[in-house]
Chain A
Amino acid sequence: MTNFKSEILSQKSIALGYMEMTFRWPEESEKPKPGQFLTIKIQEQPVPLLRRPFALSGFDEEQKSASIIYQVRGTGTKMLAALKAGDPLDVLSPLGNSFSLPAVDETPLLVAGGIGLGPILYFARELDKAGHSPVLIFGCREKSLIPDLPPLTNGRIQFCTDDGSAGFHGSSVDYMNSLSSDETGNAKVYSCGPTGMLKACHDFALSRDLSCETAMEEMMACGVGACMGCVVELAEDQDRKYARVCKDGPVFQSRTIKWT
């Protein structure tokens, strides 16, 4: 974990309201793993005050660059979107834990919704490179929200839209449910996105007796495990009531979470 001054290499829109930003990664900083995140100090003035957390969406070992995919939401992300190539960037990373690798005979089902795309995409590409055949399932409301992504080599990308304007007509979980139990027999589920989708993925995994990892999100202050501000509530059978998303997560076994 280091706090470094980086430089923006590129910024581009990849879907309606979604940006992808690439920035320099220092030689000496440890390589981020899929699921890990960073925080960005967006500016010097105290509004907005806190650093903003984003999951890594890619890492290029040769170019020494990393990327994030983010949704333009409020003050902080609007300011971020206004930055240009060449602008400095204050980054604290890599933070948190990462997705665990599937067994060789497991098919990774990677489910993303909304701002959950970044970490899932990074993981899918890493698995693809390593010879796994990941299925990346991305669900959104309609066609204009579908990001422009290069295809995977061994795996594939399945888009789903609520209104049927592109890809599968229905949610990502509807899509998974449409798969036969033979197709998902040796699947391992990974998910990141809105809470409703995460819970649906958990329920799906439970119903088919699959293991499921989920990357969570909570409002953060320190991002390094010191303030106890970013907790999620754990299931009754766990040995403690709360866990910190920034340090104990963001990736959790979905059955350890208390889903409400």
Chain B
Amino acid sequence: MDLSIKIKDKILPNPVGVASGTFGYGEEYAPLTDLSALGAIYTKAVTVEPRPGNPLPRLVETPAGMINSIGLANVGTERFLKEKIPFLNSLSCPVILNVAGSLEEEYAEVIRRVDSQDALWGYEVNISCPNVKHGGLAFGTDPVQVERLTSSLKKLTDKPLIMKLTPNVTDISAIARAAEAGGADAVACINTVMGMVVDIHKRKPAIPAVTGGLSGPAVKPVGVAAVYRVSKAVNIPVIGLGGIMNADDAVEYLLAGASALQIGTANFVDPDTSGKVLTGIKEYMKEAGFTRISDFHGHF
């Protein structure tokens, strides 16, 4: 059975990674799951400068989901290199840096500063961030900007470049095609779905930022549909995520067209979800007589 997935000229050993923002930089979860067995660790977003993040409360639970308003809280590129790289260097699984910014130039600057690090397998570009030069609308909502950002970042690195798409758009296929046209080596979808909770006792939004990002089982059908549509629209690998809690959920994503997966919110509920999902995928493949991940594709 071959579980590997090729992205650009590099191989992910298996399809089950852990999603950005839900796994820190790996260290916290080392006692709780076998990091070396992960298909990839997608780090918490890194921006050029440190960001303290949003005011609190930052979390609210919703039916079968949660809304977060973390606000890209991270230590910035300089401290990332000093404090996080040594541990990431010691890991045998691929480490994919989630890159964020408020300007095209900021994304570029992060990649320029870290690109010589062997510990980094590739990049996942978080284009759900508001573009301050574009009225605060997320980069990922406009195909023209997505293509431009992708092609300019592509020039800076030989490592695989994955564009992570936001579901908060009318036509996610158009965004995926723009990423592919810009030279993306893969696309990942979905990032969180915009959501809001009102506290009826305080008569105020539950979080100060008013809206936040919905994740967890509640968004799974949104993610599966996005993966299905995107995989029909592009010829690069599609990495599926959104609400994967177990192997059955993962298989749904693979059958819908995903070549690899990420476990996000489920890490909070069971820190070893990724291990269990990988085992379950292998069992499913054995039963179905599948020998490689591409056997999941083309059934409908």
Most chain A CB neighbours (cut-off 10 Å) among B23, B59, B64, B218: B59
Q: Does A227 contact B (CB under 8 A)?
A: yes
Chain B residue with Cβ nearest A90: B270
Q: Does A91 contact B (CB under 8 A)?
A: no
**Given A92-B271, A240-B52: A228 and B31 interface contact (C-beta under 8 Å):** no
**Given A92-B271, A221-B68, A225-B24: A231 and B53 interface contact (C-beta under 8 Å):** yes
Chain A residue with Cβ nearest B25: A226
Q: Mark B100-124, 1 if CB is under 8 A from A, else 0.
A: 0000000000000000000000000
Measured between beta carbons, the chain B residues less than 8 angstroms from A224 are 28-29, 32, 271
Measured between beta carbons, the chain B residues less than 8 angstroms from A240 are 52
The stretch from A43-51, A80-88, A100-108 touching chain B is A43-51
Q: Does A230 contact B (CB under 8 A)?
A: yes
Q: Mark B17-50, 1 if CB is under 8 A from A, else 0.
A: 0000111100011011000000000001000000
A253: min CB distance to chain B, Å: 19
A218 and B270 alpha carbons, distance in the complex (Å): 20
Q: Does B225 contact A (CB under 8 A)?
A: no
Contact A46 B268, beta carbon cutoff 8 Å: no
Q: Mark A193-222, 1 if CB is under 8 A from B, else 0.
A: 000000000000000000000000011111
A92 and B217 alpha carbons, distance in the complex (Å): 21
Q: Does A167 contact B (CB under 8 A)?
A: no
Chain B residue with Cβ nearest A233: B56
B84: min CB distance to chain A, Å: 12
A95: min CB distance to chain B, Å: 10
**Given A3-B272, A226-B28: A46 and B217 interface contact (C-beta under 8 Å):** yes
A230 and B66 alpha carbons, distance in the complex (Å): 13
Most chain B CB neighbours (cut-off 10 Å) among A220, A224, A228, A233: A228
Chain B residue with Cβ nearest A221: B268
Measured between beta carbons, the chain B residues less than 8 angstroms from A220 are 59
A240 and B64 alpha carbons, distance in the complex (Å): 33
Measured between beta carbons, the chain A residues less than 8 angstroms from B29 are 224, 226
Contact A229 B270, beta carbon cutoff 8 Å: no
Measured between beta carbons, the chain B residues less than 8 angstroms from A219 are 57-61
A92 and B269 alpha carbons, distance in the complex (Å): 10
A224 and B25 alpha carbons, distance in the complex (Å): 12
Contact B265 A49, beta carbon cutoff 8 Å: yes
Contact A221 B217, beta carbon cutoff 8 Å: no
Q: How many A-B residue pairs have CB under 8 A?
A: 97
Contact B217 A222, beta carbon cutoff 8 Å: no
Most chain B CB neighbours (cut-off 10 Å) among A47, A218, A223: A47
Q: Does A241 contact B (CB under 8 A)?
A: yes
**Given A49-B66, A218-B57: A1 and B217 interface contact (C-beta under 8 Å):** no
Contact B268 A231, beta carbon cutoff 8 Å: no
Chain A residue with Cβ nearest B246: A44
From A50, A226, A227, A231, give the contact of B269 (CB < 8 A): A50
Chain A residue with Cβ nearest B32: A3
Q: Does A235 contact B (CB under 8 A)?
A: no
Q: Does A232 contact B (CB under 8 A)?
A: yes
Chain B residue with Cβ nearest A240: B52
A223 and B24 alpha carbons, distance in the complex (Å): 12
**Given A41-B269, A49-B216: A226 and B23 interface contact (C-beta under 8 Å):** yes
Most chain B CB neighbours (cut-off 10 Å) among A1, A231, A242: A231
Q: Does B181 contact A (CB under 8 A)?
A: no
Known: A46-B65, A224-B29. 6 other contacts (CB 8 A): A47-B63, A51-B269, A219-B60, A220-B59, A223-B268, A231-B56
User: Which 10 interchain pairs have the tightest Cβ spacing?
Assistant: A226-B24, A241-B52, A46-B64, A229-B59, A226-B28, A46-B217, A228-B73, A224-B28, A219-B59, A221-B268
Q: What are 16 A-B interface contacts by the 8 Å CB criterion?
A: A1-B31, A2-B31, A3-B32, A46-B217, A49-B66, A49-B217, A50-B268, A50-B269, A219-B61, A222-B28, A222-B267, A225-B28, A226-B267, A227-B21, A229-B58, A242-B52
